Structure 1
Amino acid sequence: MPDKTSNYARILEVQNGAPLVKGVADQILGIRRDDPLSRIVVLVPSYFSAFFLRRAVTDEICNVRDGGFFNVEFMRIEELADRLFDATPSKPINPPMTRLVAFELIYNAMSALQTPGPLTEHANNESTLSAIQRTLQALERLDIGADRALSRLANGALTGLYAQLIEIQGSYAASSMGFLTRENKAAIAAETVTNNPEIVATALVPHIVMLQAPIPPDAYSRLRDCIQELSTTITFRITPDADSEEGLLGHAPSTRFYSTMGSADEPRALIRNIVADARSGVKFGEMAVLYASSDYASRIKDALEVADIESCGPSPNTLADTPTGKFVHLFLNMVAGEMRRDTFTSWTSSAPVVDPANGERVPSVPWEVASRNAKVSRFGGDDRWKRSLDRYGKSLRRRATRAEEAADEENAIDPDSMRALADAASQLEDFVQRLNRKTQPTDPRSWSEWTDWLADILETYGATVGNEEGVVGSGTERINDLLAEIRDLGEIGKLDVEFTRFSRTVQRALRTSLGGDSGWGTAILVAPLDASVGNSFRSVHILGMAEGGIPAPARSDPLLSDDLRRTLDPDGNRLPTRKEQLELDRQTFQLALQSAEKRNLYWNKALLGASNESYPSPWFVDEVIKSRNLDTVAVKSLMDPQSDYVDTVATLADLHESNLNPSTGYEFRMQTVSRRSLGNTSLDEFLADPINRALARGKDVSRSRKSGKFGVHDGNLTTAQNTFRFERRMSASSLQSYAECPYRYFLATELNVDERIDPEDLLVLSPLDKGLLVHAILERFLRDFGVDATELGLENLRKIAYEEFDRFQTDDFIGYPAIFELEKVQLLRQLERWHQANLEVLIEYDGEMKTEVPFGFGDSIGLTSVDESTSFQFRGMIDLIALSRDGKRALVADFKTGRSSYYSDIDKDVTAAGTKLQLPIYARVAGEILDGRAEISAAYWFVFQNGSTRLRPKIPVTLEETELRFGDVLPI
């Protein structure tokens, strides 16, 4: 059995990387010579070491030395502690102490704090609570324990910071007795190794090879010391100060230095070097990209993904980045923000939210447009948001029924789009009403009630997302585990808590990292610097070597200064100072370099937020001096783009340089085009190369659009073979809008984007609103009183006008009320002039007046075939069909409130070269409605103009004329 002994003879110093691999292989083979079958455990500092070092040692033993590798297990100290704890008799059976539980205990202790001092004002400050938790954990590592350490710091004082910490520590210790902390488990394991070393042989193995890395003291420091003292333990102390690598490797390692001028150039340079390494025979699984700041993780992984290079390592994402986590995070933000529209939109647009009314994902974009145009600022509190959506939806539907008459007016859009937006407003209103019944939390509630509430929200409104745990994953299972853990907090603290505290607890837990990625062994490792300790690669890349990046500025502990740390721990074994932490960081950096023979250091001169060029890190400069065998080097010489020591990476603008390797397919194509432009190759010959097919297609598009031929790139799809019959329902104004400008139609109809002015910000009525109001007045007058040019008719017109003014002011947006009063006076005068001068248009049509004649809604009137495979079902409202007394003649009129000059071209061509199509459609529909019983004429009636321009065409066109021209332009 192993004995506890002073085991200094079995402590070996070794450098990281290949020397470490050779040393571990030597010891394993040495053990195998004396004990061929016994199990061997290699204690490694990280998950990364457990995988990559095992692979390297296996290759060294089996392939290089032709030995056998079996019954060897690589494990971390945490796993060893668990096994020793499980093998310990009479061990405590308590639930584990989680981060959530520990934080809750600290919170409870702070809430009950009675001792006066500076912490009283920060009882609810999360950063303060976290600092207290870290300080107590650090003090617990001391041999004297946290309580005695704090008593020494308080020095008998009954008030103040350390007196408060004594009370908090006492309360925390008493509350945590029922839980098994990481420190408890490690201490029990260390005691087992010290007092019962035979358990190590029974529960584990007779042979242990331990890798000792320069890491800060933690909960397992004492256990490592105990394991190291066993007679069967061989310890490799990984240090950059061991024998030189050149002597161990037989050659000097290769170190290259790069400087970049932008954040985008750094990952591009990285990818070029990775490709160069791969071409030289280095496998992706033998490369590592290391960083000191977590900000680099996403940038590196994104750049590698764009370049189609797989990566592995710790995920830069947190639980809040998963679809379900994002749902919870944004939902709680929305509730905390009292249902502000911006937080509601963030939730519905960025998270997988479904409408329980139909089980489909919510239409977040139409909802945002509707709520913004309706001037909704928040969906909580009173019901003003509901009234705004009601009013907005009613206005849209009313406008949609009359939009045909304003197709030529400013801001007119397709009526179908208006109706769709009105439907979106109604759907949004229903959704929010149901949601509000669930999102009015009554404070306080128990932890279980809060978790049940949030679980119900998830079940009701959360979409089912496919699980992709290899990337980010839906996070649903982990969120459910999180809620179960939060539910248990009710057993250790207050029975009831407020929403704010519940939300903060969940949000803090959502910041938990997702862990590692897939692709181990075949993908490039992207990880922090310390992941390289206890590892061996063939190529390593270290990014972020600007001043202030590596090393990062050391942070001071606000509760435990360096002087106090040295007072409590004179030897520095348990409480490192900032200076000692900086030295640990330096050793970690050196070990990262030693992990591979090929090293690449990157220094970005243009750090985000820096006004001037950033200087290189002092460690970057030190490595330049060391690798070039210099006594010193001027930083200015490194800043020079033509430096002899640092390669300045060319920017994207310099892709024409022949010696620049592209980092992506896009850069490759750009470089190819640039080189072609500098060479003698003809363009056609260049584009004939299959590799440039994408560029050739782009050239074809450009050439087609510049030609006079109406081709496929201009919208001519007649060459397409239609295998089905296409039928679309649309209004006459929609077709006319498309004919006038297809792009504007696409924006307005398909994307719901239009140049819209917020109605409440208008000083005067918009052209569309004015047209709707006038249409309503004229249609009522003609329907009820016909061609009545008498004084009584004028009075009736005024009465109708005032009634419509009042209704419009109640139901619709009118701008500023005072301005609308002036608008009413002006409109009334225009209507009076219309009554005096324009009624003569109908002098020959003294029969029935059909106003607001609908078609295409539930019937087939207006169905028009273009060819065998395409037809349109038109729908809309005809303003006026005026019949003669004998019913043999009919005038189809479409009211217009704008200027007639816009329609002057229809005097010669009723379709205006295919851009004015409402009148031909209305004439055709009127013929269907009247079933051919009347001779039909049609014209646009400009109601506020006098003389010969009140009608366009000046002489109403016949149905036969419209049919002839409409048949020519519709197929186009």
Structure 2
Amino acid sequence: MLSHASPQLFVSPQGALRRAQALRWLDDRGSADQLLVLVPSPASGADLFRDHLRQRSPARRGAFFGWQHLTLAGLVGQVGGAVLAERGKAVVTGLARQALCARAIHRVAEEGRLGTLASLAGRPGFPRALARTLDELAMAGVGPDRLEERGASPLAALWAAYQAELAARGLADRAAAYRATADGLRRPGGHASLPARVPILLYDVPVTTQQEAAVLEALTSQAMDATGIVPASDQRSTRHFRRALGASHHAGAEPLDAAPSKTGGLPTSLTRLQRHLFETDAEEAALDDSVTFLSTPGESREAVEIARIVLAEADEGVPFDAMAVLLRSPEHYVDGLAEAFERARVPAVFSGGTRRPDPAGRAMLALLACAAEGLSASRFAEYLSLGAMPSAAQVHPPAVTDWVPPRDELAFPGSSSELDEGPGDDPEAAPTVPTPRRWERLLVDAAVIGGRARWQRRLDGLARALDAEVEASVDDPERQQRRSDERDALRALEAFAMPLIARLDELPREATWAVWLEHLDALAVHALRQPQRVRELLAELAPLGPIGPVNLDEVQLVLGRELAELVVLPSSERAGKVVVASADEARGMVFEVVFVPGLAEKIFPRKVTEDPLALDALRAELSPELDVNANRVAAERRALRLAVGAARRRVVLSYPRIDVDRSRPRVPSFYALEVLRAAEGVLPGFDELARRAERGAAERMGWPAPRSPSDAIDTSEYDLAVLERLLRQSPDQSRGAARYLLSANPHLARSLRFRARRWKSSWTKADGMLRLDESTREGLAAHRLGSREYSPTALELFARCPYRFYLSSILRLSPRDEIAALEELDPRQRGRLVHDVQMRVMRALKAADALPVTSERLALALSVLDEHLDATAARYREELAPAIERVWDDGVEQVRRDLREWLQRHAEEPHWRPRAFELAFGLPGRPEVDPASVDEPVEVAGARLRGSIDLVEERSTGTGVVLRATDHKTGRAPDSDVVVIGGGRVLQPLLYALALEALEPRLPVVEGRLYFCTSRGGYAERVVPLDELGRDRVRRVLEEIDRAIETPFLAAHPEPG
């Protein structure tokens, strides 16, 4: 095949030996010679060239011209992209491929040809799974006809529809790009983008498919000479290399077998592990410190142990960038490693396989969901909460004119590193738009719910209300300032939100992808502080521009998962940083120390499953190049061999003993046993493995710190280690020795005090508001019952739980309001509606001189009821924006039936005549109260009360007119009658009666009443006489509450049930 030097192929399980062979190959080339090195990743190519320059003698150092390293994907992008462009075609990348698959699914489903796959048609993951399967088939050279012959008609139909979409749009998939690359390389003289007839080194490149092998053969056929270096564990790549090179197999050549040794020529445990992993013929030998095995209680602790060993190795002189953590399941470890390295102040760089989510992607998803749900305020609030808002200077950016290339095109040349920065390396974000912290509260207050017109109407309404409050608060400068600040925040919210709401409202119902991409690109620029990654993602879909019509649901289906998994890609500089990468990325990389965590079942190896769209039986019939479970198992083993093979001096393997999230033990995988068998020549049992692994870790489950303080990774661990040692000493020895902890580490001091209070049998401040210092008493003095006003409802909370009373009535904490369209009337909203209508009806009847309601006046009363219920329900409909009109209408009609029954019962009891409605006291500025209301609170038994009596009634007796206070309830009536105050839980009847007595001193008040005025409450009433017993009970309860505030003793002690 080759007309010049004989090709060679070198195979070794040891990355250091493969690197040494690659360096020898480079050393044999002159600095002026052109050459090409095909590498598995840009980082490995950069490392190789850097090592070559580092080892050359000073006399031979200098500039090198014509030396180039490329990945296989970079070669395809460079050559195949140019060839396809000559043919008038564009390459579709991952996201565009999924979009085409979604259209193919839609078309085949409409034709009724999905067959057994019909149930998957609407699933969001179906296009992605189909794109993956079709890509595998195409790279293996399998077409729709072969599928049809094997009885896979639904998949064949989808494959044919996908190919038809590609052909109709002038597009090419990945397999076509590889075929075009092979065609371009076979041209006489090669391709213009690559130097012709130059030496080529194939260094650790994975070649696993038919199309990749074809490119490899075309490349080597034009080379002056070609040399291949491949990991011994990659048998498929080795087979393709040998076919492409026609080479002799130098597996036992001296350069690849002379491993360094620390034991006078005998191989180390690491060398034996690299050579004999998953083999049964390893010789028995003692385990040395080049292989370390440990286990920890959980993945986060595993990360901490890794950080501890990294620091120890750094103390021995190993550079941070000569150490790597290689992961098989990054999702289990990335967060824990990031936290552990940050605690230990270890600089780290995370690779493309272990990157962190970009909030910009999730923010864009929230905005699309906002548009899909009718401009939902809750979705807009979700967008605000993600912290992806633009800076103040970006709120009104110029028109979008700059071009952003798609992600895959950026990756094609293979010239930039795939590594990104670890946590803490991001530049400080620019300041966001002012006052966003108040915006969600304002959205709740405005009851925006959704709809562009409603957004504007409700924000305008809230603005008018705040303007009125500012004007009405002239005599209260503090309140006026608060309302003024809220008004300014509302203006900022409106200035920022309404242009975005307008953009979302203007998204097309249906359009081509070109129109959608124009809208989405502009939305990203205007709505996101860092839109670059989102715009790169959208640019991938540019080849689909003419395709349409596409609706918002299809846009969400295509973009949803990609936006959710969008990742941050900061600077690529990794010098002086520990590398955190996936195990497969260990190809071409060599480190002094390698950490391989997660040797537990379903982590490493991962669970092997078949492709549900093309099962293994079908794959075996279609092509031997298609992966089946045997290949997937081999891939798991290859990943471990690559990971341990990347170590030059030491490898540290570990597994978690406990699944902390699920609170159950984890089982070490059999890979852990294979590691020890290869290193020692003896296969241990799981019990022996667990004992040995546990001895290697410094931490314990019950105490998150090492045994020795000197092994701590941060001050928290150091302090805990010291404390644990002191706890094992006698009280005489340890007394006062840990005093420094209370001042040196405030977090530990708080934790220790909390634990002490939690386990003490006496009451402490950890059990509620129980502090006894003067500052606390002075602060609570302003909240005593005689110092500020309370409502009867607030005072009832004390009997249910004193601490809850403290949180609600003193600190004024309340559950967070949610922004959502109403689905049905909840008890609170139903109660508001009933009370509002009752008040308006009674006032209207009083104005018409139609009170009390009698059988003769009932028809008029019912007519007035219907009129006011309709008007009030319409106002509530606007405020609550019910999501389902029928449910809302049914709820209103139920209220109508209840209120009509309430009026009929009033007509049957005419001797009690309504006198006042919503008689308020201590509620200044409250709208629509009775004219007899007063702004000042009333004093009852030394307590200042505020509130509003729903209904004041009067009755003529032989001695004159008497009064009673009625509080309407819309819930269920209690099972038992209230004797007087119900143990302090039912204070409203007597407190409202006593308040009425203070407001109407000339007329006697005889009772207070709870009236359960709906069918749900059975129209029951609970009447409590205002006699001496009642007055005494109220006085005693109020004194008890006031004493608890004064002491203070407001414990977390809820009533049973």
221, 225, 232: which is aligned to 1:232? 225
The Cα of 1:133 is off from its aligned counterpart by 3.3
What is the match of residue 13 of structure 1? 11
Q: Secondary structure at the match of 1:19?
A: helix
Using a 3 Å threshold, how does the CA distance of structure 1 residues 611 and 672 change in structure 2: closer, same or farther?
A: closer
Question: What is the alpha-carbon distance in structure 1 between the residues aligned to residue 294 and residue 698 of structure 2?
Answer: 6
* Partner amino acid, structure 2, of 1:118: G
The answer as to 2:191 corresponding to 1:139 is: no
Q: Secondary structure at the match of 1:203?
A: coil
2:365–2:564 CA contact under 8 A, matched in 1 = no
Question: What is the alpha-carbon distance in structure 2 between the residues aligned to residue 328 and residue 366 of structure 1?
Answer: 22
Question: What is the alpha-carbon distance in structure 2 between the residues aligned to residue 426 and residue 817 of structure 1?
Answer: 39
Question: Structure 2-normalised TM-score?
Answer: 0.61
Using a 3 Å threshold, how does the CA distance of structure 1 residues 659 and 694 change in structure 2: closer, same or farther?
A: closer
What is the match of residue 635 of structure 1? 686
What is the match of residue 586 of structure 2? 532
Question: What is the alpha-carbon distance in structure 2 between the residues aligned to residue 332 and residue 540 of structure 1?
Answer: 43
39, 43, 49: which is aligned to 2:34? 39
The 5 A counterparts of 1:308-707 are 308-314=345-351, 321-338=357-374, 343-350=379-386, 352=388, 361=436, 363-367=438-442, 370=445, 379=450, 435=501, 438-439=504-505, 443-454=509-520, 462-463=526-527, 465=529, 474=530, 476-483=531-538, 486=541, 489-491=544-546, 493-494=547-548, 496-511=549-564, 513-514=566-567, 516-518=569-571, 519-569=573-623, 572=624, 574-596=625-647, 597-607=649-659, 612-630=664-682, 632-639=683-690, 641=691, 647=697, 649-651=699-701, 653=703, 655=705, 657-658=707-708, 661-678=711-728, 680=733, 682-683=735-736, 686-687=739-740, 691-692=744-745
Question: What is the alpha-carbon distance in structure 1 between the residues aligned to residue 902 and residue 489 of structure 2?
Answer: 31
Cα deviation per residue 1:65-89 (whole Å; 9 max; x = unaligned)? 9977845443322333444458879
Q: Secondary structure at the match of 2:653?
A: strand
Using a 3 Å threshold, how does the CA distance of structure 1 residues 676 and 198 change in structure 2: closer, same or farther?
A: same
Question: What is the alpha-carbon distance in structure 1 between the residues aligned to residue 850 and residue 613 of structure 2?
Answer: 91
2:700–2:706 CA contact under 8 A, matched in 1 = no
2:353–2:582 CA contact under 8 A, matched in 1 = no
Using a 3 Å threshold, how does the CA distance of structure 1 residues 483 and 734 change in structure 2: closer, same or farther?
A: farther
1:193–1:200 CA contact under 8 A, matched in 2 = no
Unaligned runs of 5+ in 1: 404-413, 466-473, 717-730, 785-790, 839-850, 858-874, 883-891, 906-938, 953-972
The answer as to 2:259 corresponding to 1:248 is: yes
Q: Secondary structure at the match of 1:42?
A: strand
1:258–1:648 CA contact under 8 A, matched in 2 = no
* Partner amino acid, structure 2, of 1:535: M
The Cα of 1:99 is off from its aligned counterpart by 3.0
Cα deviation per residue 1:32-71 (whole Å; 9 max; x = unaligned)? xxx35323432211133124444444444469x9977845
2:105–2:158 CA contact under 8 A, matched in 1 = no
Question: What is the alpha-carbon distance in structure 1 between the residues aligned to residue 45 and residue 481 of structure 2?
Answer: 63
Q: Secondary structure at the match of 2:712?
A: coil
The 5 A counterparts of 1:120-269 are 121=118, 125=123, 127-142=125-140, 145-147=141-143, 150-155=144-149, 160-161=153-154, 164=157, 167-168=160-161, 170-172=163-165, 174-175=167-168, 178-196=170-188, 203=195, 206-214=198-206, 216-217=208-209, 219-229=211-221, 230-240=223-233, 247-251=258-262, 252=268, 253=270, 254-269=290-305
The Cα of 1:611 is off from its aligned counterpart by 7.2
Cα deviation per residue 1:564-601 (whole Å; 9 max; x = unaligned)? 444444xx4x3333212322331231121011121111
Cα deviation per residue 1:113-168 (whole Å; 9 max; x = unaligned)? 458462673555554444443344333334xx444xx43443398x9346525633
Q: Secondary structure at the match of 2:591?
A: coil
Q: Report which stretch shifted further, 694-703 or 81-90.
A: 694-703
Q: CA RMSD in A?
A: 6.5
Using a 3 Å threshold, how does the CA distance of structure 1 residues 457 and 590 change in structure 2: closer, same or farther?
A: closer
What is the match of residue 25 of structure 1? 23
What is the match of residue 72 of structure 2? 77
Using a 3 Å threshold, how does the CA distance of structure 1 residues 36 and 853 change in structure 2: closer, same or farther?
A: closer
* Partner amino acid, structure 1, of 2:227: I
Using a 3 Å threshold, how does the CA distance of structure 1 residues 418 and 744 change in structure 2: closer, same or farther?
A: farther
Question: Structure 1-normalised TM-score?
Answer: 0.65
* Partner amino acid, structure 2, of 1:753: S
Q: Secondary structure at the match of 1:249?
A: coil
Question: What is the alpha-carbon distance in structure 1 between the residues aligned to residue 146 and residue 734 of structure 2?
Answer: 83
The Cα of 1:189 is off from its aligned counterpart by 3.3
User: May I ask how many residue pairs the two structures share in their alignment?
Assistant: 813
Using a 3 Å threshold, how does the CA distance of structure 1 residues 362 and 29 change in structure 2: closer, same or farther?
A: same
245, 249, 270: which is aligned to 2:306? 270
Question: What is the alpha-carbon distance in structure 2 between the residues aligned to residue 825 and residue 583 of structure 1?
Answer: 82
The Cα of 1:619 is off from its aligned counterpart by 1.4
The Cα of 1:510 is off from its aligned counterpart by 2.0
The 5 A counterparts of 1:51-62 are 51-61=46-56
Q: Secondary structure at the match of 2:227?
A: strand
Question: What is the alpha-carbon distance in structure 2 between the residues aligned to residue 710 and residue 212 of structure 1?
Answer: 73
Question: What is the alpha-carbon distance in structure 2 between the residues aligned to residue 713 and residue 5 of structure 1?
Answer: 96
Using a 3 Å threshold, how does the CA distance of structure 1 residues 49 and 744 change in structure 2: closer, same or farther?
A: farther
Question: What is the alpha-carbon distance in structure 2 between the residues aligned to residue 732 and residue 88 of structure 1?
Answer: 83
Using a 3 Å threshold, how does the CA distance of structure 1 residues 767 and 14 change in structure 2: closer, same or farther?
A: closer
2:200–2:224 CA contact under 8 A, matched in 1 = no
Q: Secondary structure at the match of 2:659?
A: coil
2:922–2:936 CA contact under 8 A, matched in 1 = no
Question: What is the alpha-carbon distance in structure 2 between the residues aligned to residue 130 and residue 697 of structure 1?
Answer: 49
Using a 3 Å threshold, how does the CA distance of structure 1 residues 464 and 584 change in structure 2: closer, same or farther?
A: closer
The Cα of 1:538 is off from its aligned counterpart by 1.2
The Cα of 1:531 is off from its aligned counterpart by 0.9
* Partner amino acid, structure 2, of 1:587: R
1:324–1:352 CA contact under 8 A, matched in 2 = yes
Q: Report which stretch shifted further, 343-352 or 260-269.
A: 343-352
Question: What is the alpha-carbon distance in structure 1 between the residues aligned to residue 2 and residue 833 of structure 2?
Answer: 93
Cα deviation per residue 1:852-897 (whole Å; 9 max; x = unaligned)? 9999x9xxxxxxxxxxxxxxxxx99999999xxxxxxxxx98353x
Unaligned runs of 5+ in 2: 235-250, 263-267, 271-289, 397-432, 474-478, 758-763, 781-786, 877-891, 946-996, 1007-1025, 1032-1057
Question: What is the alpha-carbon distance in structure 2 between the residues aligned to residue 557 and residue 764 of structure 1?
Answer: 51
Using a 3 Å threshold, how does the CA distance of structure 1 residues 603 and 894 change in structure 2: closer, same or farther?
A: same
Q: Report which stretch shifted further, 677-686 or 593-602.
A: 677-686
Using a 3 Å threshold, how does the CA distance of structure 1 residues 155 and 776 change in structure 2: closer, same or farther?
A: closer
Question: What is the alpha-carbon distance in structure 2 between the residues aligned to residue 700 and residue 616 of structure 1?
Answer: 38
1:7–1:228 CA contact under 8 A, matched in 2 = no
The Cα of 1:609 is off from its aligned counterpart by 7.1
What is the match of residue 925 of structure 1? none
Cα deviation per residue 1:580-639 (whole Å; 9 max; x = unaligned)? 232233123112101112111121232367675332112111001222331x22123324
The Cα of 1:257 is off from its aligned counterpart by 1.4
Q: Secondary structure at the match of 2:307?
A: helix
Question: What is the alpha-carbon distance in structure 1 between the residues aligned to residue 904 and residue 471 of structure 2?
Answer: 26
* Partner amino acid, structure 2, of 1:329: L
Question: What is the alpha-carbon distance in structure 2 between the residues aligned to residue 389 and residue 825 of structure 1?
Answer: 41
Using a 3 Å threshold, how does the CA distance of structure 1 residues 282 and 13 change in structure 2: closer, same or farther?
A: same
The Cα of 1:761 is off from its aligned counterpart by 5.7
